[in-house]
Amino acid sequence: MKKITAIIIDDEELARSLVREYLSAHDNISIVAECANGFEAVKEISERHPDVIFLDIQMPKLSGFEVLELLENQPAVIFVTAFDQYALKAFEVHAVDYLLKPFSKERFDEALRLALQRLDNNQPVNVAELTAAVQPKDQPLERVLVKEGNKVHVIPVEKIDYIEAQDDYVAFHVDGKSYLKMQRLSTLEFLLDKRRFVRIHRSYILHLDRLAKIELYAKDSRTAILKDGTKLPVSRSGYDTLKELL
């Protein structure tokens, strides 16, 4: 029987010990690391390349979703969560394996069986879509993470001037610098606070606090002038949205 390697990631020792106990009944699975926070998890997963991870979602420093965002190669994932039933609907729609705390050994074994079945399919979790699906509407995104080599930039959304679509990437423009991340602008639009961030064009989302004025460029064509002098195109629908908010 093929040996499977696993990493347990949870900030609660009791939760890690329960997963450890349940895994002890599976002789073909070896636990290669345990992590109490997201930064430890990213390091251990990147170095040890486990087959499967048991990943808590609500953790200090980095959430489970943020951990997955930072991985270049994603292992099979079993989310361990205390999310409510509404959020779990999204997990089921996205065919994601999860364990709702507290969970029984039978439920654990079932989730493990499904995860191992999917190992050979090599289908990573679509983190951006899943995050958007479970994000409470009254809790907009507070920060974005961008990985450059071994460095992780944690960018509070209030520091973002505007966001620009660039093919399969988005560029976060912050204090004259830009940070590229593979993500859809439409996904970010859903996650951000709509009272502060506006889709002014198919390729741009603007932080309203950075807007200085709007100028008429041509007939039915306008330009947003930012406080630092940056000029961004404004579509007709983008202008209609701006008028409602300003």
Nearest to 157 by CA among 211, 194, 201, 126: 194
Final residue of a domain: which of 116, 134, 152? 134
Residues 112 and 155 placed together within one structural domain of the fold: no
Prediction pTM value: 0.80
pLDDT for res 130: 83
Please state, in angstroms and rounded to a whole number, the distance separating the CA atoms of residues 69 and 153.
12
Residues 163 and 232 placed together within one structural domain of the fold: yes
Residues 14 and 122 placed together within one structural domain of the fold: yes
The encoded tokens of residue 87 equal 């959020």
Residues 148 and 165 placed together within one structural domain of the fold: yes
Nearest to 101 by CA among 66, 170, 168, 54: 54
For the range 107-115, what are the long-range contacts, defined as Cβ-Cβ under 8 Å and sequence gap of 24 or more?
Answer: 108/19, 108/22, 109/22, 111/78, 112/26, 112/52, 112/78, 115/52, 115/76, 115/77, 115/78
SS3 for 73? coil
SS3 for 117? helix
If one counts the domains in the chain, the total is: 2
pLDDT for res 200: 97
Give the range of the structural domain holding residue 166, as residue numbers without chain letter: 143-245
Strand stretches in 10-96, DSSP E: 29-35, 52-56, 76-81
Residues 152 and 195 placed together within one structural domain of the fold: yes
Contact 115, 77 (CB under 8 A): yes
Per-residue pLDDT tens digits of the chain, which is 246 residues long: 679 999 999 999 999 999 999 999 999 999 999 999 999 999 999 999 999 999 998 888 889 999 998 988 889 999 998 877 666 777 777 778 889 888 999 999 999 988 888 777 777 788 888 887 887 777 888 999 998 877 889 999 999 999 999 988 999 999 999 999 988 999 899 889 999 999 999 999 999 999 999 999 877 789 999 999 999 999 999 999 999 988
